[in-house]
Amino acid sequence: MLPLSLSEHIAEVFFTAEELDAINRRLGEQITKDYQGKNLCVVGVLKGSLMFMADLIRYIDVPCEIDFLSVSSYGNGTTSSGEVRIIKDLDGPLQDKDLLVVEDILDSGITLSFLLETLSARHPRSIRLCTLLDKPARRRVAIKPDYVGAEVEDQFIVGYGLDFAQKYRNLPYIGVLRPEIYEEI
């Protein structure tokens, strides 16, 4: 029988809401310095980056556009299928824009490698990658983010946009999901 409250599904808290805010502030300050005088367009990768990007851009003190796209390689599983699909594309052209792609977690690298290659073919002025979390132990494609909130171990984590089967995104912190939750599916 599964625990009833959402917090009882979490085995351990990795990052509190306060720690996440400090990460956003640090990243926002660095991005502000790096994008002075540039034509910044912040591109969020839905759905996972939504909470991170919303908080991050509040700390970016340069004019910027925002846009979103949605890609998928997970479905309802805990590992990438390796097949990447664009579900929702960007709304406008990318020429003369300095793109900052914002993602919740860099895991295998398959999805982000595909995405960066696809966006690069549209000829933006520049592309950089900002990820809240980097999980290098699971990397299958050589990709290095330009901005990293924190490095994490190879555990299945949820919250603050990260999900399991589209659930747990609403947690205001990031925690390790109890294995019995995802092993039942």
H or E stretch covering 3? none
**Spatial separation of the C-alpha atoms in residues 26 and 56, rounded to whole Å:** 9
**Spatial separation of the C-alpha atoms in residues 93 and 78, rounded to whole Å:** 33
**The pLDDT of residue 82:** 62
The full DSSP string for 27-78 is HHHHHHHHTTTS-EEEEEEETTTHHHHHHHHTT--S-EEEEEEEEES-TTSS
**The pLDDT of residue 184:** 65
Which fold is adopted by the domain 17-153?
Answer: Rossmann fold (3.40.50)
**Spatial separation of the C-alpha atoms in residues 172 and 176, rounded to whole Å:** 13
Query: What's the whole-model pTM score?
Result: 0.90
List the pLDDT tens digit at each of the 185 positions of the chain: 555 688 889 999 999 999 999 999 999 999 999 999 999 999 999 999 999 999 999 999 999 999 999 987 655 554 545 678 889 999 999 999 999 999 999 998 998 999 999 999 999 999 999 999 999 998 999 999 999 999 999 989 999 999 999 999 999 999 999 988 887 65
Residues recognised as catalytic: 107
**The pLDDT of residue 146:** 98
Q: State whether residue 110 is helix, strand or coil.
A: helix
